[in-house]
Chains A and B, each alone.
Chain A
């Protein structure tokens, strides 16, 4: 096959486009998540989506992507509220709070899956697939839905860029400026949940964490400016999405999600070592020169 098939082959086009969209959205929102040290919140919220998916199906009897996504988003939102409650009102450390929300929600979701299974009509087929990603099975409607959601996300980020910037780096200062910090935080979280829901469908619950963290972590090594970091992260995410999709479609037995994540991991390693802003290798060289030969 040739690279032009990206534009002509139906499956390949959907997979590559869907993965690229996910890469952009998760790169942008991952930047905020990493800077707020919420890198693992994505993992917790992705797992927290399962009961929402099950309840959405139980309530409506529909397995349509928008219905399940809405359920997943609502459950992710509730998970985040509980998480913040633990952090603000108790002495539980962030890691433990994440683990509690993640395992409890997922466990409850597994319980609900067995409830769904017992229903005479359809069974769970497809429901858990929704959570484990099936990029190769993306259809055009889903890609259009993903594109629509990501436009909403990106427009909001662009419109409120200055506010988010102050909020992320200095909450107290943002408050003295009279910015509604509570609402800004809630909005960022809501956007993060949207990115996660898009990602569940594509790379699955386990790999979602890397989709959020990796592009931002790689971008951070090349720049000190938030704007450039966001653009770079989006670029890294999109690149990994497209090449991951190409890799998985061109070879047998290569699922898309892991392919994307491995490319992203490679990008992170290269950036950590050679990033122009904070590259580990450059620092070693500098130190070596400073210490002088034979000193």
Chain B
């Protein structure tokens, strides 16, 4: 397997696996937990190194995962004491664990290559050098297998516990009443999140691991509200960002991890701006439309109120509307156009006359509001 192909594959598989893992994490509003875990695993790595008496992939993985679960446990314990809010608890726990990790590294492993800064950046470009050899055959980069395995683990967990996860995410109270064990499920889920973070972290660095877990799921949720579609989209977006970021990074010769994170940021930023219905632009347009529609409704209610009375002629004159409803003449024109397009009013000289549809709209709106 060539180096370039290996890196591209690692990027794609990391994106897909993390994208899948992130869906429920984001839905459960625990995105910053992945950030906390990604930093707090440092002492776990050190412990793994200590117990295995040297660099050992499995010991490091176990130690780091344990540290990740410990982070979750400590944060929840503090929150349950009801003295501090969750954001403060997270902001306390992971720096403390990270500080212990840094201290251990500089005290006992000062001569070992365990650069704490590099832990944050990660270096996916090194992926091809750590290959997995079985019986003399080169099976490709180790991290590729780890990430693919984690993807399968996540998929298996989601497949087995989809119903339980969905229920405990959207209605934790009901889940408990129905006899599901939200605590057990939660810790199983968070253990898998910790494992995914550790796996991604060793391949792509702490920050990119968080980006890959959180951003695809958020991006996907701008485009659909259907959970199965969110899941598929999230996997796709993660993989796509991995590929695109890798391509961009090699084209202009910059950090691959950084380029993938930037790509993800652009994807979610673009979605936040331009997604239909939920995007910023769509929302702004909707608000404007609603403002004019509301004004047109106010207009027909005003006209309906005076219909058949002595004041009708006076009250329905266009120039009177300006004074009565406090609109400028431009606004009156715009609002009259709005109500004419809806077939609510027609113009007769300088007067506005309510159509039958308009009268019904006004009456229906009043009834609806009273109900």
Contact = CB atoms under 8 A, between A and B. Distances in A.
Is this pair of chains taken from one and the same complex? yes
A85 B26 CA distance: 18
Contact of A110 (B26, B32, B95, B121): B121
Secondary structure at chain B's binding surface: helix, strand, loop or mixed? helix
A111 B262 CA distance: 8
Nearest to A129: B117
B215 A43 contact: no
Interface of A: 34, 37-40, 42-43, 47, 82, 85-86, 89-96, 98-100, 102-115, 118, 128, 132, 205-210, 212-214, 216-217, 220-221, 253-255, 257-259, 261-262, 265, 268, 272, 275, 278, 280
B91 A40 contact: yes
A221 B78 CA distance: 13
Contacts of B99: 207, 210, 257-259, 261-262, 265
Contacts of A221: 83
Contacts of A258: 98-100, 102-103
Interface in B204-229: 207-208, 210-211, 214-215, 218, 222
Contacts, number: 199
B88 A39 contact: yes
B278 A91 contact: yes
Contacts of B324: none
List the 5 closest pairs (A to B, CB-CB), nearest first: A107-B261, A104-B265, A110-B258, A210-B95, A103-B211
Interface string B237-259: 00000000000010001110111
B95 A99 contact: no
Secondary structure at chain A's binding surface: helix, strand, loop or mixed? helix
Interface of B: 26, 29-35, 39, 78, 81, 83-85, 87-88, 90-92, 94-96, 98-100, 102-103, 106-107, 110, 116-117, 120-121, 207-208, 210-211, 214-215, 218, 222, 249, 253-255, 257-262, 264-266, 268-269, 272, 278, 280, 283
Contacts of B272: 85-86, 89-90, 92
Given A92-B272, A107-B261, A206-B39, A113 B210 contact: no
Find the residue from B29, B90, B96, B99 having the highest chain A CB count within 10 A: B99
Given A43-B35, A100-B215, A110-B121, A210 B264 contact: no
A108 B262 contact: yes
Contacts of A96: 26, 29, 31, 214, 218
A90 B103 contact: no
A209 B85 CA distance: 15
A251 to B, nearest CB: 9
Nearest to B283: A89
Find the residue from B31, B88, B218 having the highest chain A CB count within 10 A: B88
B91 A39 contact: yes
Contacts of A108: 258, 261-262, 265
B280 A99 contact: no
Nearest to A103: B211
B117 A268 contact: no
A99 B83 CA distance: 24
Contacts of B84: 217, 220, 272
Contacts of A98: 31-32, 35
B30 A95 contact: yes
Contacts of B265: 100, 103-105, 107-108
Contacts of A210: 91-92, 95-96, 99
A40 B268 CA distance: 20
B218 A115 contact: no
A100 B218 contact: yes
Contact of B91 (A42, A92, A107): A42
A85 B121 CA distance: 27
14 contacts: A89-B280, A95-B32, A99-B35, A103-B207, A103-B215, A103-B264, A103-B265, A104-B262, A132-B117, A207-B95, A210-B92, A221-B83, A259-B99, A259-B103
Given A106-B261, A107-B261, A268 B215 contact: no
